[in-house]
Amino acid sequence: MDPVRNPYAPGAGTPPPELAGRDVLLETVRIALERVRLGLPTKSILMVGLRGVGKTVLLDRMRDDAEAVGLQTIRIEAPEGRSLPAILAPQLRQSLLRLSRVAAATAVAHRALRALAGFAKSLKVKYEDIEVGFDFDPEPGLADNGDLEHDLMALLEVVGAAAKAADTALVLFVDELQYVEESQLAALITALHRTAQRRLPVVLVGAGLPQLRGQMGHAKSYAERMFEFPEVGPLTNDEARSAIAKPAADNDVKITDQALDKILEQTRGYPYFLQEWGKHAWDAAQASPISEADVDAASRSAVAALDESFFRVRFDRLTPLQKRYLRAMAELGTGPHRSGDIADQLRRTVTSLGPARAQLIAKGMIWSPNHGDTAFTVPLFDEFMRRIMPRNDWQDG
């Protein structure tokens, strides 16, 4: 069918034509944000889930919803290798400048901008990547200790006061939180703990890989009680069906039940894969309805597309030993797997593979659901590894 009208949207953070199965989560967050605005006790929310389940898309939607009801928002992504204060500071400045235009909040917002100036100046020594414009001179003693934990707490406190004066709340939307280094994560938790204690309207809505939950608890033992960790996972059968069928129907295209069953079977309800299969099935079909044979053709081209992009970009960032580690996992199946079993595959000891495993966790390729267990963070990655490293020579380094 006409590829120009193809509604499906495989991609990173690309909004799907139908955001299926997430209404409950959206409503949970909506309620939390309204409660924060009213100064009622509320937990920050950290969505955790594997690659491609739709975390980024959800954050963006939640942000749009928050802006639509007059909340102040900041949207950042924690990149590998940059500091949290560096990515936070310029965004906070933008927010404070906006808040300062509300008459009732001008004075407090200006004070918060002074705090931000002190914060950036004093932390620049340690976090050289901080770059932010200064609108005011620092106020001596305000958020300028040079210690991130203390200064971020002081800063978010005045920022919260500014948001409160403006009768709104400040919502920090942070993606890829698992990449934030532990001491910076600890500082963020402490700062949010303080604003929560003071009932100041500042709240975090974050997203990350499943290891985030453990990282938060490790950074601050009370973190697990301070946050909600809703899991974002594959869609149920009904949700997955509507993710595919609804966009088609909106274009007056039908899809047979057998074709839908096939797509569900191939994608296991993972949102990214659903978009990829939807797209390829649409392109493969000559006319409505999209049939099972169209999906069979689509499966071949969808897998090829995934191998070239979604899987490939992750694979290319790995060292030879890291690749062999993942290949050994793949040999054992979907997982999770015991470290000892993986080491046996490679005829190595668990200890000697410790660094490779740790690097793979840091890169966000694998995580540990339980002590000694290892699982992929990318759905269906085991099948990909068996395709891309088919021969048996990976066992001997």
Ligand X SMILES: Nc1ncnc2c1ncn2[C@@H]1O[C@H](COP(=O)(O)OP(=O)(O)OP(=O)(O)O)[C@@H](O)[C@H]1O
Residues that bind ligand X (CB under 6 A): 9-16, 19-22, 49, 51-57, 243, 271-272, 274-275
In the chain, what is the straight-line distance between the N-terminal and C-terminal CA atoms, in Å? 48
User: Which residue lies nearer to ligand X by CB, 325 or 381?
Assistant: 381
Angle at 218 between CA 212 and CA 224, to 5 degrees: 70
| Least distance between Mg ion and beta carbon 51 (Å) | 8
User: Which residue lies nearer to ligand X by CB, 65 or 135?
Assistant: 65
Report the alpha-carbon distance of residue 163 to residue 108 in Å, rounded. 9
| Least distance between Mg ion and beta carbon 239 (Å) | 19
Residues 6+ apart with CB under 8 A from 308: none
> What DSSP state is assigned to residue 326?
H
| Least distance between ligand X and beta carbon 16 (Å) | 3
| Least distance between ligand X and beta carbon 283 (Å) | 16
Partner whose footprint covers residue 213, from ligand X, Mg ion, none (CB < 5 to 8 Å by kind): none
| Least distance between Mg ion and beta carbon 55 (Å) | 5
Would residue 373 be called left, alpha or beta, if left means φ above 0 and alpha means ψ between -120 and 50 degrees? beta
User: Which residue lies nearer to Mg ion by CB, 81 or 390?
Assistant: 81
| Sign (positive or negative) of CA dihedral 207, 204, 26, 73 | negative
Partner whose footprint covers residue 262, from ligand X, Mg ion, none (CB < 5 to 8 Å by kind): none
Interacting residues toward Mg ion by CB under 5 A? 56
Size of the chain in residues: 397
Report the alpha-carbon distance of residue 85 to residue 76 in Å, rounded. 11
User: Which residue lies nearer to Mg ion by CB, 174 or 343?
Assistant: 174
Partner whose footprint covers residue 243, from ligand X, Mg ion, none (CB < 5 to 8 Å by kind): ligand X
Chain residue whose CB lies nearest ligand X: 54
User: Which residue lies nearer to Mg ion by CB, 56 or 100?
Assistant: 56
Partner whose footprint covers residue 33, from Mg ion, ligand X, none (CB < 5 to 8 Å by kind): none
Report the alpha-carbon distance of residue 275 to residue 52 in Å, rounded. 10
What is the b/e burial string over 151-172, where b = at least 16 CB atoms within 10 angstroms of the residue's CB? Answer: bbbbbbbbbbbbbbbbebbbbb
User: Which residue lies nearer to ligand X by CB, 62 or 113?
Assistant: 62
| Least distance between Mg ion and beta carbon 57 (Å) | 8
Report the alpha-carbon distance of residue 368 to residue 127 in Å, rounded. 30
